[in-house]
Amino acid sequence: MPARITAPRGTRDLLPEEAPRWEHVEATARELARRYAFERIETPLFERVELFARGLGESSDAVEKEMFRVGGARGSDEERAEWALRPEPTAGIVRAYVEHGMHVRPGPLRLTTIGPMFRYDRPQAGRYRQFTQWDVEVIGDPGPAVDAELVELAHRFYRDVGLADVRARINSIGDATCRPAYREALISYFSAHAPRLTDDSRRRLQVNPLRVLDDRLLDPELAAGAPKSVDYLCDACRAHFAAVLAILDGLGLAYEVDHRLVRGLDYYTRTSFEFYAAGRGGQQDALGGGGRYDGLVELLGGPPTPGIGFGIGIDRTVLAVEAGGVEPPVGAPLVAVVGASDDLVGRLRVATALRDAGLAVRSDGSTRKLGRQLESASKAGARWAVIVGDGERLALKDMASGVQRDEVTVDEVIGLV
């Protein structure tokens, strides 16, 4: 027997039994995107490596360690160096914004997408090489109201999928005016404690000291004593952050200011936030995150334009929903069309009429005995069976109670189920 081929490490198949939960979570995202007036955008799953290097920063994990490169069967090493599967959606969306001159449209633009992202990381629980994000971006709105609106939207999403205890953590990491002083403060603090840093952090310290705070293995005591970005904000950034928090308070939303929350990507400015289920704090547990990127449009060749967005991990949200025992809403009842005769045309005609009326229908195409067909219908989870007899005479059987009504019409079936 030939050896079996298995799914690539760090990927998962979505099997039919898990689909209703995914459907529910994705449908909730799509419905909220509609209600919050976001428009759909789709960008390619792969882009130039340079887009990510510029947009996310050379020293971000996504670029430095986790880039999923693609080159094609005859690709040379240079070609493979040129393309990568997207690790996140913002860079591609902003690339499209600039490329299509979308800044001339009446703004701010509110864009949304749901799709797969790729990071060539070491797979573990809740961390995959291919995962799905629901993403929203608002381009051209300096805030602060929209910052709070996005936090509120994410909150509502978690609540609507059945996760009532998800909390926002929020921080401000300043902008080009005030971040340099904060960077210097971090460099001098962590340099003084260099032996207690991980190798990764020591290497990053000069290039991107904010990332040291992000290091999962950072000594908690060292983290607690580190300079806080909020103490270094310029007046404009401080006023912006205070306004965001005041609006969240005004909306009655619970949040926690988290001084270590600096996010892994270089393009973030000012507001950054992440979402965690209560009692879960590890970085691996983040259910979503986002923030402001006021410099990114310009960095990618567009006019200076503020932006903010979030990415919610659908995989982790589904896992949390499952762990919380939240049942997805029950879908439309399934109707099985079975035959008491061998008239397969009649069965399909009845099935088609029921489908025309919007019902979910499985039609049994076999010539097995009626009892066998009913058994299969029951195993498939059918709530009702429509038994098609000679001359398309119909009977409707309630599969739960076993009660059967004879001599019904298609219209009566539609009315009854």
CB atoms within 10 A of CB 6: 7
Q: Which is nearer to ligand AMP, 209 or 288 (CB)?
A: 288
CB-nearer residue toward ligand AMP: 131 or 384: 131
Under the binding rule (CB under 6 A), the answer on residue 119 touching ligand AMP is yes
Per DSSP, the three-state class of 349 is: helix
Tokens encoding 23: 């459907």
Specify the DSSP element, H or E, that contains 238: helix 235-250
- The residue count of the chain comes to 417
Tell me how far apart the alpha carbons of residues 281 and 285 are, in angstroms, rounded to a whole number.
6
392 near ligand AMP, rule: CB under 6 A: no
User: Nearest distance from residue 366's CB to ligand AMP, in Å?
Assistant: 42
Query: What is the DSSP code (8-state) at residue 129?
Result: S
The reply on whether position 190 binds ligand AMP by CB under 6 A is: no
* C-alpha span between 337 and 387 (Å, rounded): 6
Binding-site member from 12, 30, 127, 383 for ligand AMP (CB under 6 A): 127
Tokens of 199: 């190798």
Q: Is 309 in the site for ligand AMP (CB under 6 A)?
A: no
54 binds ligand AMP (CB under 6 A): no
**The binder of ligand AMP chosen from 121, 200, 215, 298 (CB under 6 A):** 121
Segment interacting with ligand AMP, rule: CB under 6 A, options 202-210, 215-223, 286-294, 321-329: 286-294
CA distance 151 to 286: 14
CA dist 139 → 105, 108, 210, 272 (Å):
11, 6, 25, 16
- Residue type at 236 in one-letter notation: A
* Residue list 352-391, contact with ligand AMP (CB under 6 A): none
The only residue of 28, 60, 113, 133 in contact with ligand AMP, by rule CB under 6 A? 133
Under rule CB under 6 A, residue 135 binds ligand AMP: no
The binder of ligand AMP chosen from 57, 144, 209, 289 (CB under 6 A): 289
CB of 161 to ligand AMP, least distance (A): 13
Binding of ligand AMP by 288 (CB under 6 A):
yes
315 binds ligand AMP (CB under 6 A): yes
Q: 135 vs 364, which CB is nearer to ligand AMP?
A: 135
Give the range of 127-135, 168-176, 234-242, 348-356 binding ligand AMP by CB under 6 A.
127-135
DSSP secondary structure letter of residue 365: -
Which amino acid does the sequence have at 24? H
SS3 state at 363: strand
Q: Kindly indicate which of the ranges 32-40, 76-84, 121-129, 248-256 contains the residues binding ligand AMP, using the contact rule CB under 6 A.
A: 121-129
User: Of the two residues 118 and 384, which places its CB atom closer to ligand AMP in the complex?
Assistant: 118
User: What order do you get walking across the sheet with 83-85 strand by strand?
Assistant: 46-48, 83-85, 68-70
Q: Establish if 88 lies at the interface with ligand AMP (CB under 6 A).
A: yes
- 313 is a site residue for ligand AMP (CB under 6 A): yes
Region from 162-170, 200-208, 280-288, 347-355 binding ligand AMP, contact rule CB under 6 A: 280-288
**92 near ligand AMP, judged by CB under 6 A:** no
Q: Which of 33, 102, 178, 286 binds ligand AMP (CB under 6 A)?
A: 286
User: Which residues face 110 on adjacent strands?
Assistant: 138
Structure tokens at 25: 């979570």
287 counts as binding ligand AMP under rule CB under 6 A: yes
Q: Which stretch binds ligand AMP (CB under 6 A): 119-127, 239-247, 356-364, 395-403?
A: 119-127
Task: Please report which residue ranges of 103-234 form alpha helices under DSSP H.
Answer: 145-161, 179-192, 199-204, 210-214, 220-225
b/e map 127-148, b = 16+ CB within 10 Å: bbbbbbbbbbbbbbbbbbebbb
Among residues 168 and 197, whose Cβ is nearest to ligand AMP? Answer: 168
Q: CB-wise, 11 or 378, nearer to ligand AMP? A: 11
Query: Phi/psi class of residue 273: alpha, beta or left (left: φ > 0; alpha: ψ in -120 to 50)?
Result: beta
Interface with ligand AMP includes 175 (CB under 6 A)?
A: no
Look up residue 326 and give its amino acid: V
CB 178 within 8 A of CB 233: yes
Q: Which chain residues interact with ligand AMP by CB under 6 A?
A: 88, 119, 121, 126-128, 131, 133, 286-289, 311, 313, 315-316
